[in-house]
Structure 1
Amino acid sequence: MLARCVCAEEREERAVVLDADVAIVGAGAAGLSLAHRLSRPVPGTRAPSVVLVDAPPGPMRPPRRTWCFWEAGAGRFDAAVTAAWRHLRVRPPSGRAAEGDIAPLRYKMIRSDDFEHLVGHDLAGSPAVRRLEATVETVEDVLEGALVRLRDTGARARSLRVRWVFDSRPPGSLPAARTTLLQHFHGWFVRTARPVFDPRTADLMDFRTPQPADGLSFGYVLPVGRHEALVEYTEFSRRPLTADGYEAAVRQYTEDVLRLGELRILSTETGVIPMTDAPIPRRVGASVFRIGAAGGATRPSTGYTFAGIQRQTRAVADALRQGRVPVPPPAHSARSRAMDAVLLRALDSGRADGPALFSRLFTRVPMRRLLRFLDGRTRLHEDLAVGLHAPVGPMLRSALELPALPRRPFDGP
Structure 2
Amino acid sequence: MRDGDIHGDIVIVGAGAAGLSLAYRLCAQPWDAPSPQVTLVDAPPGPLRPPERTWCYWEPPGGEFDEVLTASWERLRVRGPDGETVQGQPAGLRYKMLRSGDFEAFVARRTGRCPGFRQVAAAVHTVTDAPGGAEVRGTGPAGEPVVLRARWAFDSRPPRPLPPARTTLLQHFRGWFIRTPLPRFDPAVADLMDFRTPQPPRGLSFGYVLPSGPCEALVEYTEFSPAVLDDTGYDRALTHYARQVLGLDRFEVTAVEQGVIPMTDARFPRRTGAAVFRIGTAGGATRPSTGYTFATVQRQSRAAAEAWRRGRPPVPPRPHRPRARAMDAVLLRALAAGRVDGAAFFTGLFRQVPMERLLRFLDGRTRAAEDFAIGLRTPVPAMLRTVAELPWLRRHTPAPVEAV
- Choose which of 307, 313, 317 in structure 1 pairs with 2:301: 313
Alpha-carbon distance in structure 1 between the residues aligned to 2:351 and 2:91: 17
**Kept in 2: contact 1:26–1:167 (CA 8 A):** yes
Aligned residues: 401
Indicate the residue corresponding to 1:55 in structure 2.
Answer: 43
**Kept in 2: contact 1:215–1:237 (CA 8 A):** yes
SS of 2:171's partner is: strand
Alpha-carbon distance in structure 1 between the residues aligned to 2:267 and 2:95: 29
Which portions of structure 1, spanning 4 or more consecutive aligned residues, are displaced by more than 4 angstroms?
Answer: 43-46
**Kept in 2: contact 1:205–1:218 (CA 8 A):** yes
**Kept in 1: contact 2:161–2:399 (CA 8 A):** no
Query: What pairs up with 1:5-404 in 2 under 5 angstroms?
Result: 14-15=2-3, 17-44=5-32, 47-404=35-392
List per-residue Cα deviations over 1:64-123 (Å, max 9, x = no partner). Answer: 110000001211211221000010000000142110011310000001111111111221
Alpha-carbon distance in structure 1 between the residues aligned to 2:35 and 2:235: 48
Q: Using the TM superposition, name which of 73-82 and 255-264 deviates more.
A: 73-82
- Offset, 1:18: 3.5
Alpha-carbon distance in structure 2 between the residues aligned to 1:116 and 1:387: 39
SS of 1:224's partner is: strand
- Offset, 1:382: 0.5
Alpha-carbon distance in structure 2 between the residues aligned to 1:28 and 1:41: 20
Indicate the residue corresponding to 1:5 in structure 2.
Answer: none
Indicate the residue corresponding to 1:8 in structure 2.
Answer: none
SS of 1:20's partner is: coil
**Kept in 2: contact 1:46–1:321 (CA 8 A):** no
Alpha-carbon distance in structure 2 between the residues aligned to 1:135 and 1:80: 29
SS of 1:204's partner is: strand
Letter in 2 for 1:106: R
TM-score, scaled to structure 2: 0.97
**Kept in 2: contact 1:220–1:232 (CA 8 A):** yes
- Offset, 1:15: 3.8
Q: CA 1:46/1:342 → structure 2, altered by over 3 Å: closer, same or farther?
A: farther
**Kept in 2: contact 1:139–1:149 (CA 8 A):** yes
Structure 1 unmatched ranges of 5 or more = 1-12
Alpha-carbon distance in structure 2 between the residues aligned to 1:61 and 1:325: 30
**Kept in 1: contact 2:83–2:196 (CA 8 A):** no
Letter in 2 for 1:252: H
List per-residue Cα deviations over 1:278-324 (Å, max 9, x = no partner). Answer: 00111111111110011100000000000010011111101111111
Alpha-carbon distance in structure 1 between the residues aligned to 2:376 and 2:34: 48
- Offset, 1:386: 0.8
Structure 2 unmatched ranges of 5 or more = none
**Kept in 1: contact 2:160–2:400 (CA 8 A):** no
- Offset, 1:146: 1.0
Alpha-carbon distance in structure 2 between the residues aligned to 1:129 and 1:289: 19
- Offset, 1:194: 1.9
SS of 1:324's partner is: coil
Alpha-carbon distance in structure 2 between the residues aligned to 1:68 and 1:15: 40
SS of 1:279's partner is: coil
- Offset, 1:16: 5.5
List per-residue Cα deviations over 1:362-391 (Å, max 9, x = no partner). Answer: 001111110001001100000111111100
SS of 2:151's partner is: strand
Q: Using the TM superposition, name which of 117-126 and 354-363 deviates more.
A: 117-126
**Kept in 2: contact 1:36–1:122 (CA 8 A):** yes
- Offset, 1:244: 0.7
- Offset, 1:234: 0.3
**Kept in 2: contact 1:47–1:321 (CA 8 A):** no
List per-residue Cα deviations over 1:37-88 (Å, max 9, x = no partner). Answer: 1112414466421011111001111221100000012112112210000100
**Kept in 2: contact 1:193–1:261 (CA 8 A):** no
TM-score, scaled to structure 1: 0.95
**Kept in 2: contact 1:214–1:350 (CA 8 A):** yes
Indicate the residue corresponding to 1:10 in structure 2.
Answer: none
Alpha-carbon distance in structure 2 between the residues aligned to 1:386 and 1:233: 27
Alpha-carbon distance in structure 2 between the residues aligned to 1:289 and 1:346: 32
Alpha-carbon distance in structure 2 between the residues aligned to 1:223 and 1:73: 18
SS of 2:308's partner is: helix
